[in-house]
Chains A and B, each alone.
Chain A
Amino acid sequence: MVVGGGIAGIQASLDMANSGYLVYLVEEKPAIGGVMAQLDKTFPTNDCAMCVISPKLVEAGRHLNIELLTMTEVSAVSGEAGNFRVDLLRHPRYVDPEKCTSCAECETVCPIERPNAFDQGLRNRKAAYKLYPQGMPPAYAIEKQGTAPCKATCPAHVSVQGYIALINQGKYREAVELFREAHPFPGVCGRVCHHPCESRCTRGDYDEPLAIRELHRFLADWETETGERILPTIAEEKRAEKIAVIGSGPAGLSAAYFLAQKGYQATIFEKLPVAGGMMAVGIPEYRLPRDMLEREIEIIQAMGVEIQTGVTFGKDITFDSLKADGYAAVFMGVGLHAGRKLGIDNEDAAGVLQGVDFLRDTALGKDVPVGDNVLVIGGGNVAVDVALTAKRKGAENVTMVCLEKRGEMPAWEHEIEEALEGDIKIVNSYGPKSFFIDPDTKKFSGIEFKTCTAVFDEQGRFSPAFDENACEAIFGDTVIIAIGQAADTADIEKQNVPITARGGLEADPITLQTPMEWVFAGGDAFYGPKSVVDAVASGKEAAESIHRYINGMDLKDGREKEWHFEKPVITDEPHKKRTPLRCLDPKARECNFLEVSFGYNEDEAKAEADRCLECGICSECYQCVKACLAGAVNHETTPETLSVNVGGIILAPGFEPFDPSAFDAYAYASHPDVVTSIEFERILSASGPFQGHLVRPSDHREPEKIAWIQCVGSRDINRCDHSYCSSVCCMYASKQAIIAKEHSANDLDTAIFYMDMRTFGKEFERYLNRAEHENGVRYIRSRVHTIEHDESGGLLMRYATESGGMLEESFDMVVLSVGLSPSASVSELAGRLGVALNRHRFARTKDLSPVSTSRSGIYACGAFQEPKDIPMSVMEASAAAALATGELASVRNSLARVKQLPPELDVSGDMPRIGVFVCNCGINIGGIADVPAIRDYAATLPYVVHVEDNLFTCSQDTQDKMKEIITEKAINRVVVASCSPRTHEPLFQETIREAGLNPYLFEMANIRDQNTWVHMNDPEAATQKAKSLVRMAIAKAMFIEPLHQVEMAVRNAALVVGGGVAGMEAAIGLAEQGFPVHLVEKEDHLGGAALKLNTTWQGEPVGPYVRNLAEHVKSHPNVHVYTGSHVVESSGAIGHFTTTVLTADDAGRPASRTISHGVTILATGAEEFKPTEYLRGEHPDVLTHLELDGAMRENDPRIDEAASVVFIQCVGSRNEERPYCSKICCTHSLKSALALKESDPDRQVFILYRDMRAYGFREDLYRAARQADVIFIRFTPENPPVAASAEDGKIMVSIRDHVLDVGLEIRADMLVLAAAVAARENRELFEAFKVPVNEDGFLVEAHAKLRPVDFASEGIFLAGLAHYPKPIEETIAQARAAVSRAVTILSKDYILVGGVVAELKDPSRCACCLICVRSCPYGVPYVADGRAHINPAACHGCGVCAAECPAKVITLNHFTDEQIIAKEGALFAGDKAGTSLQCA
């Protein structure tokens, strides 16, 4: 298993998958690619990062033996090396990558914008997004953060954020549709809902909650205005089952509504003459106009629900009659239509009314006279409704009297406010004691109240206490009692409906099933008086239960869903006030039932919707579900846990760029034009936020001056705890400066503010020199003090120079060269896995086992181990792969998947029979170009025997169909007109191969990416162009031939040249994987340069390691060591090389030996430069590094005696002769200086340097040396130190101090020269292997970034100092990487050669002109036997030779002249092509 899908993880996965192992590649993000995919260019070649990485992405993404687990994290690892069990947590993607075609329709309709993290937030993306266009897997993902609080809180779980997002987009119809999916009453609830959602609204914590209710009321009002009825989706499949619903209140209506959605026939039986239950007869009309209610009920009827009013259950219908009528289930939603009584005398006197009766009678239009003075008993919402209704009915004075204090009243505050507005008097803390009855009329005339001292007992239960002595009388004409509701169970009890002790319906709280299994109950009659939305939720659940009951499903399974929500942290969001609601003036409300609230108009609704904070990120508006014709979107996906067994684990989780927000002095957080380097990469990127136009973020103007500040978040223990050097920033800043200059039309001024320029890698120093001297990048050695806004909108930088002076300069833009940080999540991962971290929170490794972590069987590579560049990461990735698979060598190929294929049909010589498959790609092609026309046109072209068009040609069912058609119609050439061959050609080739066709009998027309996506606004042109492209593809298809790759046996032995650490590590690595190794060393012993080293930089002793390694190599049965031997000749290609070695026979006589091998590893080392400057050779106490190491090893007395030692850096490096940095010398000097100080702290040690290149964690050595009072003095190449012999035999070193600017003379007992690492003279050897060297004599790898141990010629690899100066840990890693790369070949019994390669079709016409030999970039062709030869195993298939061959003898298969010309001809023939071809 590989954890982390950056370039290191990808490389490790590919190496292992190509060596016969099954690999799980685990990545947290939705796509692999890591940080490299974000980069614009890579140093030092300025290659486009995407160009380089994307073939790797595709290879890893499509590899049969790599299982990509994206959006997945490792939860735990148990077991041990060789047998780990890994528990994984896979987060939902909500898009099925198998079905997703990357068409972007989901993205187009998605209403939610998010900062695009891939572009560092410099632009937005949608919540439905693809990480980046080239991402693998090539599928979209949807970003969610739980469920939005509003949706989670809403009892009906309406996608509140969803319809708000759609309102923001002006998509009102879609918003209504979305609402109706979850709730039948946007208009009713838009008026009467108690909106629990608003109480959870995150905006409410910040300023005021959104007016959620008013927003859906707006939608309902909008719908009313359009005059349309927007129905929810109804299941296409109609159900025969009939369901009876008793009661037409919101619960009953909802049950019927959701049953109708599922296709059932629902009939509602209502006792009252009107439908709607309490919505019709409980809620006063001034709050809920009857026409709105009727409209929403009509919609339910329009869905097929029948409503029969005036039907009483228990009288007109019974369970028996329903059963007899064929009803399969019953829902009881009878409501609470009876009032609760006070329980005092005379309650049935005239003038005493029940609130629910009063409201119902009023609603039904009955005349209910109330007189002038009305008393209302109760403090709840119904009491308020009663009071306000009584007022509207003409009562002069209405007084509400309740037990509760003002703050305890059960009515909602806004209702109480409305009551007060309506001139209702509220009297608190009184309970009725007795009624006054007019003795004459026997009518009610008033009440004596007693004082209520407490409503609730200590436990909070309702248990009022009274003071009977404190009484008060209130007189009136009518009293209306509104203290609660009860079910009217008189009729239903006769039907034996189970009733609870409290008088409600009895049912299961989750399933709502009553003890009578076909009867379900819900609504107020079940759970007591609640709001409309609760009734809706209840009806919805009942519908689900009834559906399950009818279909014999488990009623409870998965029903107890808990709705979690997470509130986002809101910080810099502007405050926005809630949009006020316009209402009828209180005066205008008198004596009428006009609606009080006006609702929002469109502008108000939009203003309010704009306040939404999008808590759930994805709003669950489900527009993507509708838009995705491939059916790939599924919002119901849940996190998944899985476990896999693996033999080894490689951790490559990478780093995160340092966040400089906390550095106030650099103004990053406060100024948009101060950007991080990774942001700048995106700015430069052609696919970035500005499409590669170099502009500054604040005003999108082209900057004229840009500054880079180095070491932000690196080498810094004052402001952050990152004491290490991030290793890559000096180079990337130089690269960015150069690329920025290239992007700029004007003469861009670039300045890099730095401490030390650390350009220690291969070709880096030359790059730096070019940047400074050719590109004119200014390098300013300084410490930046502050960045401030200047008056002209620019950035004023104040910085200290080396000599201490303060200077100022203004720039248009500042780039912070941020360091590489270990991320917190990676630290946690390491903790979970038991992998030790070092003090910088990177993986702890040892120099002599560079990729092994503290836990056996778990390896680390890439920036997780130490900040490093891409080639180092890739190298370590291969090294980790070698180690992880090394332990599993015995089970190689046991799990790796191999595809079984049918035998290939022989179609050679057959007439072309072409099948053309045109793809609609959902609507991506078909929505623009006329696909049927293209298909029909294809049918007219010659040799076409089958045409068809498909919704998705890449879908599994179409693939299966394609195979059938190929067989059925004997098709022998297949043309697919769809997307890009770059992504889909391998898939279709696989399909036709499965049908028995050679995979090359395939041609593709790119009518999506290069046609309908670019000509969206010109369908006619897109259709015409598609026809041209199809015609061209068919023309080529006529001429394509099967290509057969032939199996070529692999010689499973390896040749390793060089017996130093690199060669020995490579040899032992391969030997332990079971391969025979021939190790050739020119010296008479093994060990190489490492024999002269004392310790690694971390202090690990090198000597014992090298000696053990040499013994191990010599004694290993798989290794044949040839010491004192030379390679004289080598020939062959990957898999089958033959090399002649001049060696000695057993008797010591010279002998020639021929070795057959499948791979070659060159590890020929380098040597220490022998300086002649600084008195070396003249003065005995002038030593080189290796000589100093030797002297220390041998306890040379001069060392003990030396009171003063001077080191001079860069001796023989970074000069004209060797314009490269030797990389290891600064570390070596620091290490030696510390050792000298340790043995004698009073000894004076000086290091004279140009830049201290203590990269990575070696910075710790630099700091320790400074703390140990090692004195560092910088010099410039123009002004180098001078060494002279003093009269007393000491050495006088003169130098000009860079800080004090004064000349210094140092009397030294010993002078140590940090001599360069120089390439060995190995010209003949390298020529024998035909491998290139650079100007400095070091070997040139195949690609500076991604193939650091390969040569361009396949099958040959390199490692160690022959490649470039490097420390021992890197050499070991590179050698192991070479092992991994070699095993990808050696592990195979044969390799396939041929395919798209160059071939001499008619060798007899070859003129031996050598043009092919000279033109081939890989040196493949050679001339022998009177003709040229091209080894198909070595050919890379570029076709240069074919194009150059004057006799046209060479052909590039699959891209022949004939085929290309056929395509050209077809293009320019226009529509005549068919005719012309047929008539010929």
Chain B
Amino acid sequence: MPATRPEHHFSVHSGGNMKEDFEPEILAFCCKYCAYAAADLAGSMRLSYPPAVKVIQLPCTGRVDMINLLKAFEDGADGVYVAGCLEGECHFIKGNLRAKKRVAAVKDILASIGLEPGRLQMYNLSSAMGPRFTEIAREMTETIRAFGPSPIKGKLNACGRVVDPAVRPETLTT
């Protein structure tokens, strides 16, 4: 097992100047038709953005459940954003507007448990907006860096629980 766990995973509780050294982990939910295509275009154009951002592709941001957003924070995300088509241009008519509402609702939840609501964002962009994708990734990384590590990180997954294979016990023999 490689023991190259990055330093920053241990710096969560260290305080001090941790904000500057801090390399956040950010999850982006991107819709297949616009945001994900924009991310690919940013690559084609060789535009660079911070490696903190990792993308999960979904058919539509309308698929993003509140539970997916909350779970990401529970599992240790420092920031999460949802990126869909421009408003009014959703491939599935209005999935991005649904996502927008859910993002707003989860922001409220974050605020209510004392987490910065800014750790979660909704963005809209078209598939031709590769440069905008990089801007968003930078913007988000900077915002999260300023917030510092998520205080939740490391608390809820103390036992190293990541995915619970017990979900499919019938096939696991270990």
Contact = CB atoms under 8 A, between A and B. Distances in A.
B50 to A, nearest CB: 9
A896 B50 CA distance: 47
B59 A1438 contact: yes
Contact of B43 (A1008, A1029, A1463, A1475): A1008
A956 interface: no
A1464 B88 contact: no
Interface string A1422-1438: 00000000000000111
Contacts of A1439: 58-60, 62-63, 95
A686 B130 contact: yes
B126 A51 contact: yes
Contacts of B25: 1467-1468
A1472 interface: yes
Interface stretch (B70-78, B112-120, B140-148): B70-78
A1010 B165 contact: no
Nearest to B28: A1010
A194 interface: no
Contacts of B55: 1006, 1010
Nearest to B51: A1021
Contact of A1024 (B46, B51, B95): B51
A1464 B68 contact: yes
A1039 B168 contact: yes
A1024 B50 CA distance: 12
Contacts of B20: none
A1478 B75 contact: no
A1480 B166 contact: yes
B1 A1471 contact: yes
Contact of B128 (A48, A983, A1472): A48
B89 A51 contact: yes
Interface in B136-174: 153, 157, 160-168, 170-174
A1442 B160 contact: no
A1470 interface: yes
B75 A1465 contact: yes
B130 A981 contact: no
Contacts of A1478: 174
A686 B126 contact: yes
A1455 interface: yes
A685 interface: yes
Contacts of B122: none
Contacts of A1438: 59-60, 62-63, 91-92, 95
A1457 B70 CA distance: 12
Contact of A1440 (B57, B63, B153): B63
Interface in A1003-1062: 1006, 1008-1011, 1013-1018, 1021-1022, 1024-1025, 1028-1029, 1032, 1035, 1038-1039
A937 interface: yes
Nearest to A980: B40
Interface in A930-950: 937, 940, 942
A1248 B33 CA distance: 48
Contact of B5 (A47, A1452, A1464, A1470): A1470
B83 interface: no
A1467 B56 CA distance: 10
Contacts of B48: 1014-1017
Contact of B93 (A692, A1352, A1457): A1352
Contacts of A515: none
Contacts of A1467: 25, 27, 54, 75, 77
Interface in A1433-1479: 1436-1440, 1442-1444, 1452, 1455, 1457-1458, 1460-1479
Contact of A48 (B45, B66, B86, B173): B86
B102 interface: yes
Given A909-B170, A1478-B174, A1018 B45 contact: no
A48 B127 contact: yes
**Chain B at the A interface: mostly helix, strand, loop or mixed?**
loop
Nearest to B170: A909
B98 A1440 contact: yes
A1469 B160 contact: yes
Which interface residue of B44, B86, B130 has the most chain A CB atoms within 10 A?
Answer: B44
Given A687-B41, A1472-B162, A1452 B27 contact: no
B129 interface: yes
A1472 B128 CA distance: 37
A1461 B71 contact: yes
A1462 B94 CA distance: 27
Contacts of A102: 44
Contact of B46 (A46, A911, A1013): A1013
A49 B59 CA distance: 19
Contacts of B19: none
Which interface residue of A46, A1025, A1476 has the most chain B CB atoms within 10 A?
Answer: A1476
Nearest to B154: A1468
A47 B47 CA distance: 24
A611 B55 CA distance: 48
Given A911-B171, A1457-B65, A1471-B4, A1032 B54 contact: yes
Contacts of B163: 1035, 1038, 1461-1462, 1465-1466, 1469, 1473, 1477
B93 A1475 contact: no
A1472 B130 contact: no
A815 B60 CA distance: 37
A486 interface: no
A152 interface: no
Contacts of A1025: 51, 54
A48 B95 contact: no
B132 A1452 contact: no
Interface in A688-738: 691-692
Given A1016-B46, A1464-B72, A1443 B62 contact: yes
Contacts of A40: 128
B27 A1472 contact: no
A1101 interface: no
A809 B6 CA distance: 62
Nearest to A132: B44
B73 to A, nearest CB: 9
Given A687-B41, A1461-B68, A1468-B72, A1480 B165 contact: yes
B68 A1457 contact: yes
A51 B59 contact: no
A1442 B65 contact: yes
Nearest to A942: B165
Given A909-B170, A1439-B59, A48 B162 contact: no
A366 interface: no
A1460 B126 CA distance: 23
Given A982-B37, A1438-B59, A1010 B127 contact: no
A1442 B76 CA distance: 24
Contact of B171 (A134, A910, A1013, A1021): A910
A1016 B42 CA distance: 13
A1475 B86 contact: no
A54 interface: yes
Contact of B41 (A133, A942, A1006): A133
Contacts of A937: 2
Contacts of A51: 33-34, 37, 85, 89, 91, 126-128
A536 interface: no
Q: Which 9 A-B pairs have the closest CB atoms?
A: A1439-B63, A48-B126, A1009-B43, A1469-B162, A1438-B92, A1468-B76, A1013-B43, A1440-B62, A1417-B93
Given A48-B86, A1009-B40, A1442-B65, 11 more contacts: A51-B89, A911-B171, A1010-B40, A1418-B93, A1438-B91, A1443-B65, A1460-B56, A1464-B71, A1465-B163, A1471-B3, A1473-B162
Interface of B: 1-6, 9, 25, 27, 32-34, 36-37, 39-49, 51, 54-60, 62-68, 71-72, 75-77, 85-86, 88-89, 91-95, 98, 102, 126-132, 134, 153, 157, 160-168, 170-174
10 contacts: A51-B33, A51-B89, A51-B128, A687-B130, A692-B131, A982-B40, A1038-B163, A1438-B60, A1471-B3, A1472-B160
